[in-house]
């Protein structure tokens, strides 16, 4: 466990990405990915649009290169895979902190509005193919290694994410600890056990489009059990939730050589806020790691009063910008060690 101090003031996370201008590098199709259209952005901050049989529709992959990427053609860089939350997308991940590193590449793959970074149980819903885990681990990672000057080893990869992406980051590290040397959850849905039934029901709500309305991002509505089966612990009907639940699978990271970082606020103590729910999940994961004697880096910044100037302790971009300002230098040090 590590205690941390507040970080310095930064530009709001809604700030625009680096100015566009020069042409992004050419990328070659492969590993089941086909580029459609033209990559968009600058030569160091751009996104691709791809299709894959693993996931229905067109998907974006945002790539942020170090400013000096083109200066030394022999230099290779470690990669942070950054997983967005629900119902966001890669293009909207414009946190200033993501563009601060001169020592690593950041890749932000599409996770869908409610893909949950998993291969769904039901592939025959109106949403079509939903094999997000296959898309990311079997296609995006080798595609990036083939097209960019990466350190294509476990030591050269980290996976981090916010909210739904926090779940994805711990889940991916647990199913493929051979791929990642660091994992980090920022306000993540990292306990899907019966202890956190509210988070299970949040998954269900995204699937059935409980929000509704013409502009809902969760269309088309699908069956409540489409991704992980039943959320209810009756006759082991919730087996799939238990199988993918990071809290119940922390033992898979014992001795696996994967550094673990968890960031959470408390929603200002307001019961029912999103951050209040994920704070409970973080505490349950912490308790599980303690019971296993694991080492980790854990930050609960409460109402955000001591966590920079952008964070109010809630489930929002201001707090995640502060989290990233703390996380990214730590990842750089880990990669360099």
pTM above 0.75, yes or no: yes
Q: How confident is the model at residue 275 (pLDDT cuts 50, 70, 90)?
A: very high
Spell out a b/e string for 259-275, using b for 16 or more CB atoms within 10 Å of the CB, else e: bbbbbbbbbeeeeebbb
pLDDT score at 63: 97
User: What does the alpha-carbon distance between residue 191 and residue 278 come to, in Å, rounded to a whole number?
Assistant: 8
User: What does the alpha-carbon distance between residue 325 and residue 7 come to, in Å, rounded to a whole number?
Assistant: 7
Answer whether residue 245 shows pLDDT above 90.
yes
Q: What does the domain layout of the chain look like in residue ranges?
A: 34-336
C-alpha dihedral, 295 to 325 to 89 to 129, nearest 10° = -20
Residues with Cβ within 8 Å of residue 46, at least 6 apart in sequence: 24, 39, 40, 62, 63
Answer whether residue 11 shows pLDDT above 80.
no
Q: 3-state DSSP call for residue 59?
A: strand
The 10s digit of each residue's pLDDT in 125-180 is 999 999 999 999 999 999 999 999 999 999 999 999 999 999 999 999 999 999 99
pLDDT score at 319: 97
The 10s digit of each residue's pLDDT in 289-315 is 999 999 999 999 999 999 999 999 999
Reported CATH class of domain 34-336:
alpha beta
Query: Pairing between strand 297-300 and 105-109?
Result: unpaired
Phi, psi of 319 (to 5 degrees): -70, -35
């Amino acid at each position: 466990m590590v205690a941390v101090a507040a970080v310095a003031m930064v530009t709001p996370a809604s700030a625009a990405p680096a100015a566009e201008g020069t042409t992004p590098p050419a990328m070659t199709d492969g590993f089941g990915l086909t580029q459609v259209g033209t990559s968009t952005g600058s030569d160091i901050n751009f996104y691709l649009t791809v299709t894959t049989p693993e996931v229905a529709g067109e998907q974006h992959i945002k790539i942020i290169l170090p400013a000096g990427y083109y200066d030394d053609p022999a230099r290779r860089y470690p990669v942070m895979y950054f997983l967005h939350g629900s119902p966001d997308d890669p293009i909207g991940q414009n946190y200033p902190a993501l563009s601060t590193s001169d020592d690593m590449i950041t890749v932000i793959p599409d996770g869908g509005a409610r893909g949950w970074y998993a291969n769904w149980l039901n592939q025959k819903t109106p949403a079509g193919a939903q094999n997000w885990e296959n898309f990311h681990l079997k296609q995006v990672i080798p595609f990036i290694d083939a097209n960019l000057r990466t350190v294509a080893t476990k030591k050269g990869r980290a996976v981090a994410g916010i909210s739904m992406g926090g779940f994805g980051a711990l889940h991916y590290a647990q199913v493929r600890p051979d791929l990642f040397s660091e994992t980090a959850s920022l306000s993540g849905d990292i306990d899907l056990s019966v202890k956190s039934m509210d988070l299970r029901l949040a998954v269900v709500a995204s699937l059935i489009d409980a929000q509704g309305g013409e502009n809902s991002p969760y269309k088309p509505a699908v069956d409540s059990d489409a991704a992980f089966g039943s959320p209810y612990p009756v006759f082991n009907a919730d087996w799939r939730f238990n199988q993918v639940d990071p809290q119940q699978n922390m033992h898979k990271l014992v001795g696996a050589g994967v550094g673990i970082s968890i960031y959470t606020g408390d929603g200002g103590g307001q019961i029912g806020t999103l951050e209040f729910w994920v704070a409970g999940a973080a505490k349950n994961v912490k308790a599980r790691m303690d019971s296993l004697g694991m080492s980790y880096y854990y930050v609960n910044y409460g109402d955000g009063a001591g966590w920079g100037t952008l964070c109010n302790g809630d489930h929002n971009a201001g707090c995640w910008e502060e989290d990233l300002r703390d996380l990214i230098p730590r990842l750089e040090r880990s990669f360099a060690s």
